[in-house]
Structure 1
Amino acid sequence: MQYEYDSEVDGLYIWFVNNIEEEKGNYDHELWPMELKEEIGLLFGKDGGLMGLEIMPASKYFDQSRLDSFDKT
C-alpha cells in the first residue's frame, strides 16, 4: 500500500498496488458513492479490480502533519 497527498486539492490517494508509477497506466475509472458521502472515491483498474481510494477533503479525516508527510507537490 502506498500513499500520495495533493495539498492543492486536499486529496489523499491510497493505492493498493506495489508500484504506483508502474500501475497508474492500468487505471481506468473511479466511482464516488453517495453512501461514502461522495468524499471517498473508489479507483478501479482496467481489469475491474480495486486499485485504491481517493479521499477528499483528506484533512477532514486525517491529521494535517501526517498528510504533509505524503505530499507529492
Structure 2
Amino acid sequence: MFYLHTKIELIEVGYEISDNKNYKRSLSEKNQMLKAEFLNLKSPDRIERLALKRGLIYPSQKDILYSGNKRDLSANSGSDE
C-alpha cells in the first residue's frame, strides 16, 4: 500500500514538474516579446516620428534658452565676451 501511494505521489510530482517547465517556457517567451516591444517603444526614431506627427518641431537657435554662469555660456557658445 505504501509503495502504491509513493508511486502515485511520484507521478503527480512528475506532472507538476512538467507543468512548471511549460509555464517557465511560456513566461520566457513572453519576456522576450516584452523586451523586443520595449526596445521598439523606446527607439529614438520612433519617438522622433511620433513627436513630428503630433506637431512638435525642432527649436531654432533663438528658441534655445541657456541658464547658468555667464562664463559657462560663453565657453559653450564658442565666443569670447
TM norm structure 2: 0.18
- Bigger proportion of residues as strand: 1
Flag the structure with more relative contact order, 1 or 2, with Cα contacts below 8 A and sequence separation at least 6.
Answer: 1
- Bigger proportion of residues as helix: 2
Larger radius of gyration: 2
TM norm structure 1: 0.19
